[in-house]
Amino acid sequence: MLAIEVKNLYKNYYSTKSGNFAGIGRPDLTEDTNPNSSAIYPDLSGGVGGISFSVNRGEIFGIIGPDGAGKTTLFRILTTLILANSGTASVDGFNVVTDYKEIRKRVGYMPGKFSLYQDLTVEENLNFFATVFKTTIEENYELVKDIYQQIEPFKNRRAGKLSGGMKQKLALSCALIHKPSILFLDEPTTGVDPVSRKEFWGMLKKLKEKGITILVSTPYMDEASLCDRIALIQGGQFLKIDTPKNIISQYENKLWAVQSDTMYKLLMDLRANELTKNCFAFGDKHHVSIANKQITLENLKELIEKLGHKNVLIREIEPSIEDCFMQLSQS
Amino acid sequence: MLYAIEPELKDRKMNNIIQQNSNIVITAENLTKKFGHFTAVDNISFEVERGEIFGFLGANGAGKTTAMRMLSGLSIPTSGKGIVAGYDIETQTELVKKNIGYMSQKFSLYDDLKVWENIELFGGIYGMKDKEIKVKTDELMKVLNFENERDKLVGSLPLGFKQKLAFSVSIFHNPQVVFLDEPTGGVDPITRRQFWELIYDATSRGITVFVTTHYMDEAEYCNRVSIMVDGKIEALDSPKDLKEQFNAASMDEVFQQLARRSTRQAD
């Protein structure tokens, strides 16, 4: 049995904040009833339709994309908090519409926004969530131990007084205390520094080893490699679903990392060149995608030096998920 | 050379002359901020040059925001000294504020005002004349290719548009320095890069950029980078030299090595 199965799921609503289309899948504009005619729609070139995917048991599945891509909408449908316009979804074998009570018993959900009780202490929060699910901290302590022990010295502190990192650990402990079979983590690492992000992914790996299925969303492309499979999402659409390795191997063009003494000019020069499919700054290098596979390192070097660049360094590289995302979102 | 300014020297003209002759736009000297027994910023010293992109990195809770608040005249240092855009951050906070720009991911523009209304509001707050605002708004709309968005509510724009507009508004009054607090969080990778192109363009016009980010590839785009650990600046150099010093392949590695030294139980 699949942990999560989603078929042709479509949700169309208008963000109360922006008045724009938000959601997942492609809207049918002929049925558009939005009074705000200036609303901005995602690209509709692919026609109307919902999204489909499935998550295997014991898998870490990453939903990767920028703000406004539809990540939270998807999480809210799967955790039975909102209803889709059309399509079906099941979680742990239960239908998100008809069996929502069963699903709520079986999933742990950590929303993007800190949603614990700020005026309860660390221990009171954990105890509260254990009680709601008719269990005790003692019963499932083994599962949360590694994470909860890091904040246990502060167990009498109110949750509102915790630092961001500690809040994150408490929220994860509370989402786990009823021993869920599937964990939904909506942007758990957003705004978190790179060191704490690494630590957090270390915790997820340990939970996976304990057999918990994890659906996790993130805007950080570098976290993709830590997932078993990922879906790249933008504008409510999946650009690709696969293992990070397969997505990288399907990158269409040859990719080169290029450096010179004048990096900004190099970026402009490379973009202006007709051989270039696209060119983006990547840290201290530029990544140039070139469709013509006949072009060699020497060809490229000659071409760049001719444009007046000094100390030119070129290397053929394997694309990162971020390279893939940019190429897919442009095509 | 700016250290020579006496605290009692408050003659704005004099300060401006010193500023114009100086290539240093931000000076922090033993800057410290304590909250009770907790030292959030611990004796930091550095200088930032005109037109530089200065990356201000550190783990959550390292003291970046507190330091930035002091440098932008919003918080008075417990001890130490700072000069920003030629003005003392302790005694001339209003002049500091007039001569800097600020943008963060969390707050930038008013969603329920139109694009041109936001520009007029911020231009007005910074004391620009109506005519100047009008001329510069026309210019800006052209440069950003925003002419069709001019009369739209900012809330209706996609995030990427909003962020570009917010940055442009933060430098609309042509400040000497702009402070950017995690300006690119959550935006898609292409927009993130377009945003950095706007930053390069601003520095080419002499604006100094002071920026915090959690994206380590963006640290590489800075001329120099400082890394704060537990309130202190533990490293400060160009990305290239930092990578050499720490024998690291990327700024991410440098950051990981330094930030792991933290003993502060912060976030």
- pLDDT over threshold 60, residue A149: yes
Q: State whether A329 and B188 contact (CB < 8 Å).
A: yes
Measured distance CA(B27)–CA(B34) in Å, rounded: 20
Q: What per-residue confidence (pLDDT) applies to A78?
A: 97
List of chain B residues whose C-beta atoms are within 8 Å of the C-beta of residue A330 = 190
List of chain A residues whose C-beta atoms are within 8 Å of the C-beta of residue B265 = 163, 166
Measured distance CA(B141)–CA(B148) in Å, rounded: 9
Which residue is it, tokens 């060809």?
A: A299
Measured distance CA(A230)–CA(A242) in Å, rounded: 6
Is A32 or B50 the better-scoring residue by pLDDT?
Answer: B50
Residue B162: in which H helix or E strand, if any? Answer: helix B159-170
Interface of A with B (CB under 8 A): 17-20, 36, 38-40, 65-69, 162-168, 190-196, 198, 219, 221, 234, 264, 280-284, 322, 325-326, 329-330
| pLDDT mean over B30-52 | 96
Residues above pLDDT 90, as percent of chain B: 70
List of chain B residues whose C-beta atoms are within 8 Å of the C-beta of residue A282 = 217
pLDDT averaged over chain B? 89
Binned at pLDDT 50, 70 and 90, residue B160 comes out as confident
pLDDT in tens, A82-110: 999 889 999 999 999 999 999 999 999 99
* Length of chain A as a residue count: 331
pLDDT in tens, B203-220: 988 999 999 998 888 999
CATH superfamily of B50-76+99-259: P-loop containing nucleotide triphosphate hydrolases (3.40.50.300)
What's the distance, Cα to Cα, between the start and end of chain B in Å?
A: 37
Q: Are residues A123 and A179 in the same domain?
A: yes
C-alpha count within 13 angstroms, C-beta hemisphere, residue A299 = 9
CB pairs under 8 A between A and B: 108
Q: Are residues A119 and A257 in the same domain?
A: no
Phi, psi of A304 (to 5 degrees): -75, -40
CB atoms within 10 A of CB B117: 16
Distance of CA A233 to the CA centre of its chain: 8
Binned at pLDDT 50, 70 and 90, residue A45 comes out as very low
Q: Are residues A212 and A274 in the same domain?
A: no
Q: What per-residue confidence (pLDDT) applies to A159?
A: 94
Binned at pLDDT 50, 70 and 90, residue B107 comes out as low
Q: Three-state DSSP class for B217?
A: helix
Tokens of A280: 């983006």
Minimum distance, in Å, between the CA of residue A134 and any CA atom of chain B: 31
B136 vs A: CB within 8 A? no
Phi, psi of B258 (to 5 degrees): -75, -45
Decide which of A229, A248, A267 is a domain's last residue.
A248
Q: What per-residue confidence (pLDDT) applies to A256?
A: 96
Q: What per-residue confidence (pLDDT) applies to A28?
A: 57
Instruction: Note whether B213 and B184 are within 8 A (CB).
Output: yes
| pLDDT mean over B84-105 | 94
Binned at pLDDT 50, 70 and 90, residue B173 comes out as very high
pLDDT in tens, B115-126: 999 999 999 999
Measured distance CA(A138)–CA(A157) in Å, rounded: 20
Instruction: Note whether A108 and A166 are within 8 A (CB).
Output: no
User: Of B195, B114, B144, which is closest to residue A38 (Cα–Cα)?
Assistant: B114
Measured distance CA(A225)–CA(A237) in Å, rounded: 21
Q: What per-residue confidence (pLDDT) applies to A27?
A: 61
Phi, psi of A308 (to 5 degrees): 95, 10
- pLDDT over threshold 50, residue A42: no
Q: What per-residue confidence (pLDDT) applies to B12?
A: 47
Q: Positive or negative, the Cα torsion across B109, B110, B111, B116?
A: negative
Q: Which structural domain range is residue A320 located in? A: 252-330
pLDDT in tens, B46-88: 999 999 999 999 988 899 989 999 999 999 999 999 999 999 9
pLDDT in tens, A252-287: 899 999 999 988 899 999 999 999 999 999 988 999
CB atoms within 10 A of CB A198: 17
The CA–CA distances, whole Å, from A140 to A121, A134, A198, B15, B220 equal 19, 12, 25, 65, 44
pLDDT in tens, A151-188: 999 999 999 988 878 898 999 999 999 999 999 999 99
Domain ranges of chain B: 50-76+99-259
CATH number at residue A309: 3.30.70.100
Binned at pLDDT 50, 70 and 90, residue A29 comes out as low
- pLDDT over threshold 70, residue A44: no
Number of helical H runs and strand E runs in chain B: 10, 10
Instruction: Note whether B229 and B252 are within 8 A (CB).
Output: no
Greatest Cα pair distance, chain B, in angstroms, is 54
Tokens of B236: 């400060």
Best residue of B108, B157, B190 to probe chain A, by most A CBs closer than 10 Å: B190
Binned at pLDDT 50, 70 and 90, residue A47 comes out as very low
Q: Are residues A208 and A225 in the same domain?
A: yes
The ipTM is: 0.79
- Give this prediction's pTM: 0.84
Q: Are residues A179 and A103 in the same domain?
A: yes
- pLDDT over threshold 90, residue B4: no
| pLDDT mean over B14-36 | 79
User: Of B84, B79, B113, which is closest to residue B96 (Cα–Cα)?
Assistant: B84
Q: State whether B189 and A221 contact (CB < 8 Å).
A: yes
Decide which of A212, A230, A248 is a domain's last residue.
A248
List of chain A residues whose C-beta atoms are within 8 Å of the C-beta of residue B182 = 191
The CA–CA distances, whole Å, from A293 to A246, A250, A267, A296 equal 20, 15, 21, 8
Count of domains forming chain A: 2
Tokens of A81: 């908090």
Q: Are residues A35 and A178 in the same domain?
A: yes
Residue A123: in which H helix or E strand, if any? Answer: helix A122-132
Integer-rounded Cα Rg, in Å, for chain B is 19
Binned at pLDDT 50, 70 and 90, residue A1 comes out as confident
User: Of A183, A217, A187, A240, which is closest to residue A63 (Cα–Cα)?
Assistant: A217
Binned at pLDDT 50, 70 and 90, residue A306 comes out as very high
Q: Are residues A148 and A229 in the same domain?
A: yes
Measured distance CA(B46)–CA(B62) in Å, rounded: 17
| pLDDT mean over A44-52 | 64
Give the pairing of strands B38-49 and B24-35.
antiparallel
* Closest in A164, A198, A284 to B60, CB measured: A164
Distance of CA B167 to the CA centre of its chain: 11
| pLDDT mean over B130-155 | 93
Residue A24 burial by CB count (10 A; 0-12/13-18/19+): exposed, middle or buried? Answer: buried
CATH number at residue A19: 3.40.50.300
Decide which of A248, A275, A296 is a domain's last residue.
A248
Is B22 or B201 the better-scoring residue by pLDDT?
Answer: B201
Q: Are residues A153 and A194 in the same domain?
A: yes
Name the DSSP class of B1.
-
Tokens of B217: 């590839």
Q: Are residues A266 and A177 in the same domain?
A: no
Q: What per-residue confidence (pLDDT) applies to A155?
A: 94
